Amino acid sequence: MNNKAGSPRLEFPGSQGDALAARLDLPDGDVRAYALFAHCFSCSKDVFAASRVSKALTASGIGVLRFDFTGLGQSEGDFSNTNFSSNIEDLVSAADFLRENYQAPRILVGHSLGGSAVLAATHRIASVRAVATIAAPADPQHVKELLRESVETIREQGFAEVQLGGRRFNIQEQFLTDVTGQPQAERIRNLGAALLVMHSPVDPVVSVDEAGKIFSLARHPKSFVALDGADHLLSRREDSEFAADMIGAWAGRYAFEDHQTPTEPETAGSSNGAQATSVAREPGIVTVEESGNGTFQQLITSGHHTMVADEPAPIGTDTGLSPYELLLAGLGACTSMTLRMYAQRKKLDLQKVSVRLAHSRIHADDCANCETTSGKIDHIERSITLTGNLTAEQRSRMLEIADRCPVHRTLESEISITSSLA
């Protein structure tokens, strides 16, 4: 997708119906992926960390939407009526805005409590493949440390005016209640995306131990980068730009459509706010979900492996194999692996196996070995090339072995498929 570079001012409705102010930082050329940036508690989209990281990410071809949470910065709404849950909903609203007007976000970046928010929102945004946190606490309850002198007052009278970052905010008791009941550890365990944890070892606001907790809870693929010498707000330009360079290089392994790399998703969700459904993504369990890119593109995941399926043009956008091509690929891969195993066991000089397959519909009476005698049937033509010093007898035997590959047997056997709504 090609867009004009810049940082246009935008607005979209937030979780409480208020207009949220946003900026969209775009690269000079093609946008390889879109990202959402969530700012720190009581900050805004224009804080140094947000603006510098977002603009630096554009150099990697990433378009970044950064916005002010409800009641902060230039966004409308009453901050005292917000909480951690409403921040999550604002992120989902931002993802919906990107998906409907540009492209579904594949990357989430969160700073401080914004990092906690993106970890919590990931399962609600199905398109996300990579999540990066900067100076984030492992549990949003950590924010109580910033409010510790006022917690008792808030409990007693239901609210208190506190000073954060040189500004005064009205914090209500519902904020403390909401932040306490968050299942953050479970969310991190079942993140469903690649994770990059970034933290300064000398952060005086959020200890680097919090990064250790996040990293320990998360499943692979996960990475940790130390922002050595940086303060909590990444106020030095070299620190924010280093963080952006790391995110840009790392995100390419997971989020760019032209460089797909295995991830280990654990949940599937919807960016429209629908209830997420837990899906066990273990080896042998295949999950397929719409990516939000184009009409038919699908993200296929099994264990640590991810690939894309699509319909060819003009029906789809031809970004991946079609369903029947995937079926042929399964048969071809099984055939080649089976022949390689046989050659190793028999110590044959098999240098290379190549399998060419095609699917078609033919008249039943054209099939000499089929029980069906009328109408049309599915036909797969498989041509196997064996390279190596093999005798005619060995080649003939290997053709017989090819028909014994498990997928071949499955396709020719009686198959039972049960379907249910998850």
State the Cα torsion 144-17-50-191 to the nearest 10°.
70
How is residue 205 written in tokens?
């606001």
Q: Give the relative orientation of helices 323-346 and 392-402 as an angle to the nearest 10 degrees.
A: 130
Is the pLDDT at 396 greater than 50? The verdict is yes
269 vs 30: which has the higher pLDDT? 30
pLDDT bin (cut points 50, 70, 90) of residue 372 is low
Q: Residue 86, Cα to own-chain centre: how many angstroms?
A: 22
How is residue 87 written in tokens?
């921040």
Give the pLDDT mean for 107-128: 92
Q: What is the pLDDT of residue 332?
A: 93
The three-state secondary structure class of 397 is helix
pLDDT tens per residue across span 78-103: 777 888 888 999 999 999 999 999 99
pLDDT tens per residue across span 191-245: 989 999 999 999 988 999 999 999 999 988 888 988 989 999 888 888 888 888 8
Mean pLDDT of the chain: 82
Q: What is the pLDDT of residue 130?
A: 93
pLDDT bin (cut points 50, 70, 90) of residue 366 is low
pLDDT tens per residue across span 246-279: 888 888 778 776 544 444 433 333 333 333 333 3
Whether the CB-CB separation of 65 and 73 falls below 8 Å is answered with: no
Lowest mean pLDDT among 100-109, 229-238, 281-290, 376-385: 281-290
pLDDT tens per residue across span 133-152: 999 999 988 887 777 777 77
Q: Which of 221-225, 332-336, 368-372 shows the highest mean pLDDT?
A: 332-336
Give the pLDDT mean for 36-51: 84
Whether the CB-CB separation of 286 and 265 falls below 8 Å is answered with: no
pLDDT bin (cut points 50, 70, 90) of residue 116 is very high
Lowest mean pLDDT among 45-54, 56-65, 326-335: 45-54
Using a pLDDT cut of 90, give the percent of the chain over it: 40
287 vs 304: which has the higher pLDDT? 287
Q: Which residue has the tokens 């009686």?
A: 414
Whether the CB-CB separation of 43 and 134 falls below 8 Å is answered with: no
Q: Residue 109, Cα to own-chain centre: how many angstroms?
A: 12
pTM above threshold 0.75: no
Is the pLDDT at 56 greater than 70? The verdict is yes
Which string of DSSP letters, residue by residue, matches 127-164? Answer: T--EEEEES--SSGGGGGGTTTTTHHHHHHHSEEEEEE
194 vs 177: which has the higher pLDDT? 194
pLDDT tens per residue across span 11-22: 898 888 889 999
